[in-house]
Structure 1
Amino acid sequence: MSFKKKTIYNVANLFDVYKNQLDAELEDDFFLGIHECTNFSSPYLDNGVSDNICQRSIKYFSHLKEQVNSDYIDQGCRYFCYWLHDKILKNQKPVDNTINLYKQLLQKYKDYEEAYVFQEYIEHFNNDMLANLIKLIELYGKFNIIKKKITSCDNCDCVQASADLYNHYVDECYTCNDNDFCDELENFKHTYENHMNTENCPEVVPKILPPIKRYNLAPIVSIPFVLTLVVSFVFFILYKFTTVGLRIRSILKTKKSIYNDIDQETNELMYISGKYNVNSKNNEYSLSYQSV
């Protein structure tokens, strides 16, 4: 049965579609009269490749512009960021540099085609999202070696490697707030398990991957607060409108009366004691005077 959740990372299992567009040879007449890439430079690129990367970018964005499917364009922009990071920057530089280089090349395309921009498609695509996309493409890439019958590793070894990688990323999913990342891991889980129905591997190689478990901390944090409100409300109702409340008020009233009586008796005793002490001192003074 086919199963696929829509996520911002769906391109992780479709990257060949976009890869072919970026890897295609540049046509000489495509850039005839276009000067936006002339003398283009970027602190993130070597001078020897800057012009070529700029031209490839404009050609790729022009391809995306021709599409009517907004999802295709959206995923295509995300893959372009991955392509810059993996193929051009060779994973050697921080993810921040990839995002900045993307913006520079996007500006070049805006100079070339002022009527059309792609900013809206990647407006909320941040460094963490790109880092997660890189992980997912690595995961699918390792697994797709099996499906393509590439002999760089034994099938079952590749299966085991992809399962280990999945388990590692599942642990990350437990601690992150990226639901799309977790959903795409679920997509991979179904792809993996469907394939394993026909793969003959040793028993140590899992045929089923662990499920994605999600923990929403908000309800857990709010439970004590809600319980406090509920208990307070129940006590208020009992106190105001039931016989239980009447008994409690009666007991409290009785205790208050007892406390008042005790306080009054204590005050009277203190008054009598003080008066007695004064009289005793007066008697001493009187005796002393008579003895003189």
Structure 2
Amino acid sequence: MLSTKKTIYNVANSFEIYKREIDNNHSEDGSRIIEDCDKFISPYLHENESANICERAVLYLNSLKANAVSDYIDQGCRYLCIWINNNVIENKKSPINVINLFNEFLRKFEEYDGDYKFKDYLKQFSTDMLENLMKLFELYSKFNINNKEISSCNNCDCVKASADLYNKFADECYAGDDNDFCDELENFKQTYENYMKTSSCPETIPQILPPIKRHNIGATVSIPFAIILVISFFLFILYKFTPFGLHVSSLLNRKKTIYNDLEQDTNEFIFNSKKLDINSENKKYSLSYHSVE
């Protein structure tokens, strides 16, 4: 039995329940159920579609609220972003625009049901998260060979394409710092390899995928620190117990003696100069006094 890690991206491979929910949340005859959406306008939507899309989003959010399970709500909100990106925004596609439209739907829902705040359930919701979510959705969609709605290639071609995507995203995992992204890639690796055990794909299709490697920040910091310690220890041994150390010590002592002698000579010179100045002043005053007599 597969053991799936829990991540903020799990919805990328378990979105069917959310898809059915949003597909069913609209009236059959086109009549409006949510009056708050009648005058809804967004720069990301065509004007003649804005009200209908707004209503579907608000009804979908209402169904998430009714479930009352925080993880279900969190994953459901992430799927809403997938739906907005893939099915709603035709032009101006970008993570920031998807997040902006998502927030517009949240505000519209709060007008519909002012006592409920979805943002209380949302964790790590950002454009970076959305970029990685869309990558994982693409990965699973490519591999999901039984769902012709989201995958149009032949079985083994899809498997090969998904393996190539996995390798690309694995490199991004190593270069980044999103542990959930890396964990979800490991979930995909497990799903992929389990499928390949009974697959009839040719040997040119990889049976297993490379393991996920993570960038160890702790090691990056500790290695230079360890090098400094080793160098310091080596120099200490060199200084204390080798002829080179004795030579360096002798040289340093000689330089220290020269410096001390120079400092002493300088101080004596300054002292004598001040003494001469004082004597000179005294003579001046003495001469002035005798001239008055």
Return the TM-score normalized by structure 2: 0.76
Query: Does residue 204 of the first structure (1) align with residue 204 of the second (2)?
Result: yes
CA separation in 1, counterparts of 2:51 and 2:135? 29
Deviations 1:33-52 (Å, cap 9, x if unpaired)? Answer: 74311211111111111101
What runs of 5+ residues in structure 2 fail to find an aligned partner? 262-293
Query: Does residue 129 of the first structure (1) align with residue 126 of the second (2)?
Result: no
Matched to 1:80, the amino acid is L
CA separation in 2, counterparts of 1:232 and 1:19? 62
Matched to 1:140, the amino acid is Y
Aligned to 2:174: 174
How many percent identity over aligned positions? Answer: 51
CA separation in 2, counterparts of 1:220 and 1:161? 33
Deviations 1:126-161 (Å, cap 9, x if unpaired)? Answer: 112111111111111111124779994332122112
What is the CA distance between 1:175 and its match in structure 2? 1.4
Aligned to 1:192: 192
What runs of 5+ residues in structure 1 fail to find an aligned partner? 265-292
Aligned to 2:142: 142
Query: Does residue 252 of the first structure (1) align with residue 249 of the second (2)?
Result: yes
Matched to 1:252, the amino acid is S
Aligned to 1:51: 51
Asked if structure 2 preserves the Cα contact closer than 8 Å seen for 1:146 and 1:159, the reply is: no
Which deviates further from its counterpart, 109-118 or 34-43?
34-43
Aligned to 2:279: none
CA separation in 2, counterparts of 1:181 and 1:15? 17
CA separation in 1, counterparts of 2:40 and 2:251? 90
Asked if structure 1 preserves the Cα contact closer than 8 Å seen for 2:142 and 2:150, the reply is: no
Aligned to 1:274: none
Matched to 2:199, the amino acid is E
Matches within 5 A, 1:82-101: 82-90=82-90, 92-101=92-101
Return the TM-score normalized by structure 1: 0.76
CA separation in 2, counterparts of 1:131 and 1:252? 60
Shift of the 230–87 alpha-carbon distance from structure 1 to 2, 3 Å rule, reads same
Asked if structure 1 preserves the Cα contact closer than 8 Å seen for 2:176 and 2:215, the reply is: no
Matched to 2:157, the amino acid is D
CA separation in 2, counterparts of 1:259 and 1:181? 60
CA separation in 2, counterparts of 1:48 and 1:158? 37
RMSD: 3.4
SS at match of 2:194: helix
Shift of the 260–192 alpha-carbon distance from structure 1 to 2, 3 Å rule, reads closer
User: What is the number of equivalent residue pairs in this alignment?
Assistant: 258
